[in-house]
Amino acid sequence: NAGVTQTPKFRILKIGQSMTLQCTQDMNHNYMYWYRQDPGMGLKLIYYSVGAGITDKGEVPNGYNVSRSTTEDFPLRLELAAPSQTSVYFCASRGTTNNEQFFGPGTRLTVL
Amino acid sequence: AQSVAQPEDQVNVAEGNPLTVKCTYSVSGNPYLFWYVQYPNRGLQFLLKYITGDNLVKGSYGFEAEFNKSQTSFHLKKPSALVSDSALYFCAVRDINDMRFGAGTRLTVKP
């Protein structure tokens, strides 16, 4: 199993550009999550999904959108990038019976 | 809502000494508690969890954690620290559908 994979690893955007951060898991997990981690800070939940076709907002959803058309994929969309979205983004998943989350390696995004 | 707090931003210990990274929790109902470790430029890795049962939970890399209901704490411990244990440690509590993380504690183990 590859676990949770994220692409790209790094990206630099200009203000106003858009992009999609990809996240895929091969563990057949129902639950998937997007977090952002700012320097010296903990993780803040952006969006989460409890299954294909179902998404919900977390603590900091503004400026982001998600979709969950399949169990495996949970892309995060930034429509109009702003400097405040400079961060490291982590995707995670967990199964219905497992309680722990499994994390991807992260995407480091810089908006200039 | 469920929450956890990590009162120390930084913990420094000498190699070979015991280490403790502190975590307190605030929950309604029974807590599901977790510890994760993050090495530089990596994602979070699961260390251990407490769901029910023994108050002393053993996890990966020789770490253990003690659940204390009266003190609402879930401190992470290791009897003998290694330089390679230096990393960022997060305590977390499961909420209904997601996880709430503490702000993290940076552990530095000096040779």
pLDDT tens-digit profile of B1-56? 789 999 999 999 999 999 999 999 998 888 899 999 999 888 899 999 999 889 99
Distances (CA, A) of A106 to A74, B12, B29, B58: 14, 27, 32, 27
Facing residue for A50 by CB, picked from B43, B49, B97: B97
At position B79, the amino acid (one-letter code) is: P
pLDDT digits (tens, 9 = 90+) for B29-41: 888 999 999 998 8
Distances (CA, A) of A28 to A95, B17, B50: 7, 41, 24
Q: Do B49 and A99 touch (CB under 8 A)?
A: yes
Residues from chain B that touch A42, judged by Cβ atoms under 8 A, are 90, 101-104
pLDDT digits (tens, 9 = 90+) for B60-93: 999 999 999 999 999 999 999 999 999 999 999 9
> Cα B53–B94–A84 angle (5° rounding)?
155
Distances (CA, A) of A13 to A84, A109, A110, A111, B21: 12, 8, 6, 5, 37
How far apart (Å, rounded) are the C-alpha atoms in residues B65 and B21? 9
Q: Do A103 and B45 touch (CB under 8 A)?
A: yes
Buried/exposed B44-59: b ≥16 CB within 10 Å, e otherwise: bebbbbbeeeeeebeb
User: Above 90 in pLDDT, residue A14?
Assistant: yes
Contact yes or no for B33/B63 (Cβ under 8 A): no
Helix, strand, coil % over all residues of chain B, rounded to 5: 5, 50, 40
- Judge whether B102 is closer than 8 Å to chain A, CB to CB: yes
- Report which of A33, A35, A74 is spatially closest to residue A52, judged by C-alpha positions: A74
Q: Do B99 and A56 touch (CB under 8 A)?
A: no
User: CA torsion, points A98, A104, A108, B2, in degrees to nearest 10?
Assistant: 0
Chain centre to alpha carbon of residue A42:
15
Chain centre to alpha carbon of residue B52:
16
User: Above 90 in pLDDT, residue A93?
Assistant: yes
Rounded average pLDDT over A24-40: 92
The chain A residues in contact with chain B (CB within 8 A) are 4, 31, 33, 41-43, 45, 48, 50, 56, 58, 90, 92, 99-106
How far apart (Å, rounded) are the C-alpha atoms in residues B98 and A57? 11
